[in-house]
Structure 1
């Protein structure tokens, strides 16, 4: 049984507001937290050194991800199931900040194996994944729906 004393309504209202904010902030995420729409900020499931960000636009806006000094930019275009530049290996040094930007002519999903990062690829719209290459090895970067290997990332 709940007994309310006079003036106890304020804590109840505050508690209700807090619960509403917490519930609202947790909504709208995909069931796979490593995959985000290009306009979604990084999720808690991604490693702290990784982010999923929209591709930089032609204009420079203060505070945009373009202000981050990227050590290696890799840009890939997919048209009619053809990868350009053709599939190969891209070598980066351990600790480098890498940004992979992909534009596909069909909706798909980008995935960086080993780092478990991804981004939705809306048709015709560039999407990017940015992360610090802290794990050494050979990692495939691919699309999920069309199962195209875009390139192999070598981190040394």
Structure 2
């Protein structure tokens, strides 16, 4: 395409710059929690009993080596289906959160904004554990299959 007028050239250059900026803002860039809008209707990815079970340790050795988490979030992926289905999970600022994902294919777990990741070997769980010290809305996804598992809301 040949652009002859200066106004048309400027329009093409601005469009190309905008497209480049949109394509560059992907998984490799941290989310900015200051512009995120938390959900008004929180949902839970794990039943309350799972968080209670995770906090109770059957052996004293596990209690001393692994601190009890405030929130355990468990996700399973099979044939590109996410269980529980994609939604929002709300946690309180300062809570210790553990996200455990089991996938039927090898992949990588990524928590945006916290820039955390874990390998997901096929059929074996992978976990990340962190203190939710940033408020906002953060996507939790897989890299290879590009599945959004849920949105983490920290209030």
Give the alignment's TM-score, normalised by structure 1.
Answer: 0.60
Give the aligned partner of residue 72 of structure 1: 71
Give the alignment's TM-score, normalised by structure 2.
Answer: 0.60
- Answer yes or no: is the 8 Å Cα contact 1:60–1:66 preserved in 2: no
Q: 1:71 to 1:59 in 2, by over 3 A?
A: closer
Q: Secondary structure at the match of 1:62?
A: helix
**Cα distance, 1:76 vs. partner?**
0.1
Distance 2:59 2:118 in 1: 22
| Structure 1 residue ranges without an equivalent (≥5) | 1-57
Give the aligned partner of residue 124 of structure 1: 123
What RMSD, in angstroms, separates the aligned Cα atoms of the two structures? 2.2
Residue pairs, 1:2-151, within 5 angstroms: 60=59, 62-63=61-62, 67-151=66-150
Distance 2:75 2:115 in 1: 19
Q: Secondary structure at the match of 1:103?
A: strand
| Structure 2 residue ranges without an equivalent (≥5) | 1-56
Give the aligned partner of residue 12 of structure 1: none
Give the aligned partner of residue 33 of structure 2: none
**Cα distance, 1:67 vs. partner?**
3.6
Instruction: Answer 1 or 2: which has greater helix percent.
Output: 2
**Cα distance, 1:61 vs. partner?**
7.0
Question: Which portions of structure 1, spanning 4 or more consecutive aligned residues, are displaced by more than 4 angstroms?
Answer: 58-61, 63-66
- Answer yes or no: is the 8 Å Cα contact 1:108–1:144 preserved in 2: yes
Give the aligned partner of residue 50 of structure 2: none
Distance 2:58 2:120 in 1: 21
